Structure 1
């Protein structure tokens, strides 16, 4: 069995940055074990399998529509091509104030005595958002050592499935003005740190829009790879996230 496969770095225009994902094109349905074997072989945080919904669908034929709709296990994902990247259409999830005493042990285990300015929780995504003090800058967040190993054991309620650390953008920043920064950790699902996370920004976009009073924002995820997102909140309660993409590998998988 020979399958076309690609590795694409998303939310960046530069190879070896952003969020790497393997994309495998399927002419026929594979067994679930095959999906898992291929994903383990790719050893990336995401491996996507795209198959035809109709026998007449054609991977080679050029798409004449500006928008593609993917039917995924998490629901429909719409993507459209822009002049300077790809725009993804996501839901927007609200956050609610979280009592520090309920999550204090988890936060302290992760970031020690780092100063915290705000704590929010997203029940829709089960993500805990921790805003660091405005006294810190981007370099602090980038170099902060986060201990993710004990977190699943500390949170025994099952409420938390992801930890977002975020920081307000720096006033007067000239080189690349960002409205906010973030890092994302999900050891609960076997992902110590994600390079760039669209789902985390469905929560971050809601939070920072309220904090900053803005509908249009630029964000940077401060992982080792780093990634940029242009965010636009829509009137229908959803959010558009635009980012670049770099194809770094194209080949054939023999399975």
Structure 2
């Protein structure tokens, strides 16, 4: 069996940046182990399989509302085309203040004793710990910060934390383009030392920074080595739209 397959870099318009994901077009239902084997072969943290719902469907035809629905481990994810990118429809997850003493060892192991922390929040819905660094730091500090993720699963074994977000307020009047906030994301608990660009982390970041900045429309940059930018729009229905560019960097045929 031969399947069309692509690699697309998301949340960027430039090849080899953003978040790489494999997309495989499937004519017929595949055995479950085939999905896992293909994902393992692509060696990417995200691999999507697009299958026709009706035999008459055509992969090259436009959807009537330009929307695709993906079934993920976290539930349904809707994506729609916009003039200047792809919009992902996510739930918005609130945070609450986190007691420093409960996570102090984890934070010190990750970023050391000398890094100044301004705020600590926790999202129980996503089990993500949000650590806001001091406003005295700039983007370059976050980009070059050495984060030690190796010991974190040993330190936090309760299952409460499954992801660590480091975030920083944007620099007004600084770089062009300007961003409202910066972030990096780490999930060694699930085998992901650092994620290039993370939609799920921004469901938490959007909620936090919207309250901090009193804004519903924001622009964000994830400061990983690859880097990626997101346009954020909080909706009245309690969800959030995350918009980003996409660049197809590979197109080919997979033989199964």
Q: Secondary structure of the residue that 2:201 maps to in structure 1?
A: helix
Residue 27 of structure 2 corresponds to 27
Matched, 1:2 2:2: yes
Give, in whole Å, the separation in 1 of the partners of 2:154 and 2:86: 38
Query: What is the Cα deviation at residue 62 of structure 1?
Result: 2.9
Q: How does 1:96-107 map to 2 (within 5 A)?
A: 96-107=96-107
Q: How does 1:74-93 map to 2 (within 5 A)?
A: 74-93=74-93
Give, in whole Å, the separation in 1 of the partners of 2:148 and 2:184: 13
Query: What is the Cα deviation at residue 56 of structure 1?
Result: 3.0
Query: What is the Cα deviation at residue 60 of structure 1?
Result: 2.7
1:166-203 CA-to-partner distances (Å, cap 9, x unmatched) read: 00001221411100000000001110000000000000
Give, in whole Å, the separation in 1 of the partners of 2:117 and 2:204: 18
Q: Secondary structure of the residue that 2:211 maps to in structure 1?
A: helix
Count of residues in Structure 1 that have an aligned counterpart in Structure 2: 255
Query: What is the Cα deviation at residue 31 of structure 1?
Result: 2.0
Stretches of structure 2 that go unaligned for 5 or more consecutive residues are: none
Residue 252 of structure 2 corresponds to 251
Give, in whole Å, the separation in 1 of the partners of 2:199 and 2:175: 25
Q: How does 1:184-195 map to 2 (within 5 A)?
A: 184-195=185-196
Q: Which moved more, 1:241-250 or 1:30-39?
A: 30-39
TM-score normalised by structure 2 residue count = 0.96
TM-score normalised by structure 1 residue count = 0.97
Q: Secondary structure of the residue that 2:232 maps to in structure 1?
A: strand
Give, in whole Å, the separation in 2 of the partners of 1:176 and 1:198: 20
Give, in whole Å, the separation in 2 of the partners of 1:174 and 1:104: 32
Give, in whole Å, the separation in 1 of the partners of 2:92 and 2:38: 32
Stretches of structure 1 that go unaligned for 5 or more consecutive residues are: none
C-alpha RMSD of matched pairs (Å): 1.1
Give, in whole Å, the separation in 1 of the partners of 2:100 and 2:55: 54
Residue 108 of structure 2 corresponds to 108
Give, in whole Å, the separation in 2 of the partners of 1:179 and 1:217: 6
1:25-61 CA-to-partner distances (Å, cap 9, x unmatched) read: 1112222222222112111111111222333332232
Give, in whole Å, the separation in 1 of the partners of 2:229 and 2:250: 21
Q: Which moved more, 1:176-185 or 1:46-55?
A: 46-55
Q: Which moved more, 1:229-238 or 1:170-179?
A: 170-179
Q: Secondary structure of the residue that 2:173 maps to in structure 1?
A: coil
Give, in whole Å, the separation in 2 of the partners of 1:49 and 1:68: 12
Query: What is the Cα deviation at residue 68 of structure 1?
Result: 2.5
